[in-house]
Structure 1
Amino acid sequence: MLIGLEIKNFAIVSNLSTEWQNGMTAITGETGAGKSIAIDALSLCLGERAEASAVRPNTDKAEVCAQFDLSNLPLAHAFLEQNMLSNADNECLLRRVVCKNGRSKSYINGSAVTAAQLKELGQYLISIHGQHAHQHLLKAEHQLQLLDAYAGHHNLVSGVSQSYKQFANLQKEFKHLQQQQQQQAAQKQLLEYQVAELNEFALQEGEFEQIEAEHYKLSNSQTILETCQRELQHLYESDEQNACSLLQHSAQQFSELAQYDETLASVATLLAEAAVQVEEASREVRSYTEQADLDPARLVEVENRLSGAMDLARKHHIKPQALVEFHQAISQELESISNNSSRLEQLESEIENTLSHYQHASEQLSQSRREYANTLNRLISNSMANLSMENGIFEIALTQETERAPNSLGYDNVSFLVSTNPGQPLQPLAKVASGGELSRISLAIQVIIAQKVTTPTLIFDEVDVGISGPTASAVGKLLRQLGKSTQVICVTHLPQVASSAHQQFFVAKEIANGETFTHMQPLNKDGRVNEIARLLGGDNISKTAKANAKELIMAHA
């Protein structure tokens, strides 16, 4: 529950520090004094959007701190632990700072966090019901949310939502593949022809480079053979004169001269070695010429292979060396397109199974909604009677549209129906209820749902608009009763509601030195009597008004 609230330089508040108690607390004050200022500041501290206009004029920043007792709040504790924001004690401090440029900073227990984290934690701490809540009550989606909140069947709602998401994702993939398949029909036909042609040619990795080299050799084989034979004569086989015999002769001559001058011995040795090298080279050339095979058929074969590779490369506007890689790429592309057909068949089966699961989950959710709707019908009808609508009947009409497309909420359409007078048929709220009746019905629904949904602090911001007389007393009693189990904070202008509270704050506005200031202070017993007397009779408080105020307060003692 909320135990402390500090506000600095927020709107028309300069400095405000308040302590809060359990039970029901009423906030009253003059019109325009800013009775809702504490709630607006608290909303900011709970992650609502920050604006520069929230900063008091002539100041640099606004700051709001809210302190909470987390006793018996396991969800809040779990959030803090998951985000490593826990405190040693059982309390939690939220802080929001808004600069005059509109930028803001958020803190939980002194650690910087995002506004989204404040908002997520805030849902476990406070539920705020504004004065326009009854307008939302006319919307079908809000009515369904209220029913689900009361039922508390979050697992069923989540099950339907997850089934729908899975179904929607599969449908999206199916449609995408269908479109892709239609667009790729002509592409597939072309790829099949290209892949078949390349498969038939079957060029291997590195083969083009090999046949290119072989073709170059074969096309010059005659020149190679003739040159080898001629040079073999020059090197070794000519009877008249050859390089080997010349070297051998020179080596012999220098060897003989070495007996006269030893320095010429090395020359003789080098020439002898050269003669040996020439003889060895000649043997290799002879061997090459003996094994050389002038095969015209092989040359034609290689030429055809080389020409085929180059023709295919030109056809696909690539280099011949890239043919193998291109072949692999379009084969994979064709395989991918072909796989789409099998994936479509698989998706049809998955969609059918997911749809069946969605239908089962939606039916379970519908059954649970019907059960809790019957309970709510009785409770809200009884509450309407307590709020001076003795003959009122409330009914939640649920209809199933099993033929409509799946959605995240299931098959159900919901409509809140009401009859406020005997003999009057049940009709939608918007057609039957007046403004005052709608406010009372809305309040009854909010209180009943609040008793089921465990929020430690409930704030009602002028939800009693349009209510007066005995009905106002009934509203006060209803809120006070709710305050026995939950902290209730109520901004009100009705003396009957304010007198029902366990404690009360008074909000006043003053102007000093050309500036406006709002103050909020707790009222003691006498202060409460005077304030409720003012609500009863205006600023001129009479003895009769004070007596009536005391009577109202004593009625709840």
Structure 2
Amino acid sequence: MLIGLEIKNFAIVSNLSTEWQSGMTAITGETGAGKSIAIDALSLCLGERAEASAVRPGTERAEICAQFDITALPLAKQFLEQQLLTNTDQECLLRRVICKNGRSKSYINGSPVTAAQLKELGQHLISIHGQHAHQHLLKSEHQLQLLDSYAGHHTLVDNVRSQYRHCQNLQKEFTALEQAQQQQAAQKQLLEYQVAELDEFALQADEFSDIEAEHHKLSHSQTILEACQRELQYLYESDEQNACSMLQHSAQQFAELANFDESLNSVAALLAEAAVQVEEASREIRNYAEQTELDPSRLLDVEARLSGAMDLARKHHIKPEQLVEFHQSISQELESISTNSARLNELNDEIQTALDDYHSAATALSASRQSAAHTLNELISASMANLSMENGLFEIALKQEHDRAPNSLGFDSIAFLVSTNPGQPLQPLSKVASGGELSRISLAIQVIIAQKVTTPTLIFDEVDVGISGPTASAVGKLLRQLGKSTQVICVTHLPQVASSGHQQFFVAKEIADGETFTQMLPLNKHGRIDEIARLLGGDNISKTAKANAKELIMAHA
């Protein structure tokens, strides 16, 4: 529950510090004093959007701190543990700083967090019901949310939402593939032709460089053979004179001279070795020449292969060396397009299965809603009677629309029907209820649902607009009863509601040195009597008004 709230430089508040207790707390004050200022500040502290206008004029920033006792709030504790934001004690401190440029910073237990994290934690701490809640009551989506909140079937709601998202994701994939397939139809035809042509040519990895080298060799084979035969004569085979015999002769001469000078032995050895090398080279030349044949037909084949590769490369605007890689690339692209067709068939089956699962989940949710609606009908009808609508009847009409497109809320259509007078048929709220009646019905629903949801702190911000007399007294009793199990904070202008509180704050506005200041003061017993009397009779408080005020307060003692 909320135990402390500090506000600095927020709107017309300069500095405000309040302590809060369990039970029902009423907040009253003069018109225009800013009775809802604490609620507005608390909303910001719980992650609502911050604007520069929230900062008090003439100051650099606004700061709001809210302190909560989370001893009995397991969901809040779980969130803090998951986010590594736990404190050493059983309290939780939220802090929001808004700068005059509109930027804001958020903190939980002193650690920086996002506004979204504040908002998520806030759902486990406080539920705020504004004075315009009855307007939302006319919207079918809000009606479903109210029913689901009362039913408490969160698992069923989450399952429907999950199945819906799954259907959506599959449908998006199907649509994307279908569009891609339509766009790729012409591309597929071209790829099939290109791949077939390259398959037929069947160029292998590194083949182009090999045939290029072979073509270079074959086109010069005549020159090579003539040169080999000529040089073989010079080196070894000439009968008249050849390099090998000359080297052998010189080696013999220097070997004999070495008998006179041993230093010539090395020269003789080098010449002898050279002769051996020439002889070995000559044998290799001879073998090469004997194995090499002039093959014009092979040259023509190689030239045709080489020319074919170059033609294909030019056709695809790439280098011949890139043909094999290009062939693999377009083959994979064609395979991908073909795979899309198979995936489309698979998706058809998967979508049908997902729709079946969605239908099962939505059916289970609908059954739970029907059960909760039956109970809620009786409770709200009884509550309407307590709120001066003795002959009022309330009914939640649910209809399963199996043919409607899947959505995250299931296939139920909903309508809140009401009859406020005897003999009057049940009709939609918007057609039957007046503004005051709608406010009372809305309040009845909010209180009943709040009891079931068990939010630790409930804030009602002038939800009693349009209510007066005995009805206001009934509203006060309703809120006080709720305050026995839940902390209730109620901003009100009605003495019957304010007197129902276990405690009360008075909001006052002062003007000093040309500036406006708002204060929020806790009232003691005598202060409450004076304030209730003011609400009853205006600024001129009479003895009769005081007596009536005391009587109202004592009625709840």
Q: State the match for 1:195 in structure 2.
A: 195
Q: Percent of aligned positions with the same letter in both sequences?
A: 82
How many residue pairs were aligned?
557
Tell which deviates more after alignment, 358-367 or 92-101: 92-101
1:255 Cα offset (Å) = 3.4
Q: State the match for 2:18 in structure 1.
A: 18
Given the two structures, how large is their TM-score scaled by the length of structure 2?
0.98
**Separation in 2, partners of 1:304, 1:545:** 116
Q: State the match for 1:249 in structure 2.
A: 249
**2:291 maps to 1:298:** no
Q: State the match for 1:444 in structure 2.
A: 444
Q: State the match for 2:353 in structure 1.
A: 353
String of CA shifts for 1:504-537, please: whole Å, max 9, x gaps.
Answer: 1111111111111111111111111111011100
**Separation in 2, partners of 1:233, 1:543:** 146
Let me know the Cα RMSD of the aligned residues: 1.3
Q: State the match for 2:549 in structure 1.
A: 549
**Separation in 1, partners of 2:3, 2:336:** 64
**Separation in 1, partners of 2:221, 2:556:** 121
**2:360 maps to 1:365:** no
2:236 counterpart SS class: helix
**2:35 maps to 1:35:** yes
1:222 Cα offset (Å) = 1.2
Query: Which amino acid is the alignment partner of residue 226 of structure 2?
Result: E
1:494 Cα offset (Å) = 0.5
Q: State the match for 1:435 in structure 2.
A: 435
Residue correspondence of structure 1 range 412-491 to structure 2 within 5 A: 412-491=412-491
String of CA shifts for 1:354-373, please: whole Å, max 9, x gaps.
Answer: 01111111111111111111
Tell which deviates more after alignment, 424-433 or 455-464: 424-433
1:279 counterpart SS class: helix
1:504 counterpart SS class: strand
Q: State the match for 1:55 in structure 2.
A: 55
Q: State the match for 1:161 in structure 2.
A: 161
Runs of 4+ in structure 1 off by over 6 angstroms are: none
Q: State the match for 1:515 in structure 2.
A: 515
**Separation in 2, partners of 1:501, 1:259:** 137
1:286 Cα offset (Å) = 1.2
Query: Which amino acid is the alignment partner of residue 512 of structure 2?
Result: A
**Separation in 2, partners of 1:70, 1:269:** 104
Q: State the match for 2:328 in structure 1.
A: 328
Q: State the match for 1:119 in structure 2.
A: 119
Residue correspondence of structure 1 range 9-408 to structure 2 within 5 A: 9-408=9-408
2:388 counterpart SS class: coil
**Separation in 2, partners of 1:437, 1:508:** 31
**Separation in 2, partners of 1:97, 1:324:** 64
1:466 Cα offset (Å) = 0.7
**Separation in 1, partners of 2:112, 2:189:** 60
**Separation in 1, partners of 2:202, 2:130:** 77
Query: Which amino acid is the alignment partner of residue 36 of structure 1?
Result: S
Query: Which amino acid is the alignment partner of residue 200 of structure 1?
Result: E
Unaligned runs of 5+ in 2: none
**Separation in 1, partners of 2:496, 2:210:** 103
**Separation in 2, partners of 1:376, 1:382:** 10
1:493 counterpart SS class: coil
**Separation in 1, partners of 2:19, 2:264:** 120
**Separation in 2, partners of 1:269, 1:551:** 139
**Separation in 2, partners of 1:228, 1:259:** 39
1:304 Cα offset (Å) = 2.1
Tell which deviates more after alignment, 91-100 or 456-465: 91-100
Tell which deviates more after alignment, 528-537 or 291-300: 291-300
String of CA shifts for 1:4-50, please: whole Å, max 9, x gaps.
Answer: 11111211111111111111111111111111111111111111111
Query: Which amino acid is the alignment partner of residue 150 of structure 2?
Result: Y
Unaligned runs of 5+ in 1: none
2:119 counterpart SS class: helix
**Separation in 1, partners of 2:122, 2:347:** 42
1:428 Cα offset (Å) = 1.1
**Separation in 2, partners of 1:343, 1:58:** 64
Query: Which amino acid is the alignment partner of residue 421 of structure 1?
Result: N
1:497 Cα offset (Å) = 0.6
1:252 Cα offset (Å) = 2.9
**Separation in 1, partners of 2:241, 2:11:** 119
**Separation in 1, partners of 2:413, 2:553:** 45
1:540 counterpart SS class: coil
Query: Which amino acid is the alignment partner of residue 356 of structure 2?
Result: S
**Separation in 1, partners of 2:456, 2:151:** 18
String of CA shifts for 1:324-374, please: whole Å, max 9, x gaps.
Answer: 111111111111111111111111110110011111111111111111111
1:422 counterpart SS class: coil
Tell which deviates more after alignment, 445-454 or 289-298: 289-298
1:216 Cα offset (Å) = 1.2
**Separation in 2, partners of 1:199, 1:241:** 58
1:98 counterpart SS class: strand
1:244 Cα offset (Å) = 1.5
**Separation in 2, partners of 1:200, 1:342:** 26
2:397 counterpart SS class: strand
String of CA shifts for 1:404-456, please: whole Å, max 9, x gaps.
Answer: 11111111111111111111111111111111111101100100000001201
1:295 Cα offset (Å) = 2.2
Query: Which amino acid is the alignment partner of residue 487 of structure 1?
Result: Q
**Separation in 2, partners of 1:178, 1:299:** 51
**Separation in 1, partners of 2:532, 2:183:** 77
Q: State the match for 1:410 in structure 2.
A: 410
1:239 counterpart SS class: coil
2:194 counterpart SS class: helix
Query: Which amino acid is the alignment partner of residue 28 of structure 1?
Result: T
Tell which deviates more after alignment, 374-383 or 299-308: 299-308
Residue correspondence of structure 1 range 527-546 to structure 2 within 5 A: 527-546=527-546
**2:497 maps to 1:497:** yes
**Separation in 2, partners of 1:100, 1:310:** 71
**Separation in 1, partners of 2:51, 2:182:** 51
1:111 Cα offset (Å) = 1.5
String of CA shifts for 1:161-182, please: whole Å, max 9, x gaps.
Answer: 1111111111111111111112
1:262 Cα offset (Å) = 4.2
**Separation in 2, partners of 1:290, 1:6:** 106
Query: Which amino acid is the alignment partner of residue 510 of structure 1?
Result: E
**Separation in 1, partners of 2:109, 2:314:** 72
**Separation in 2, partners of 1:34, 1:316:** 77
1:298 Cα offset (Å) = 2.0
Given the two structures, how large is their TM-score scaled by the length of structure 1?
0.98
2:464 counterpart SS class: coil
Tell which deviates more after alignment, 298-307 or 29-38: 298-307
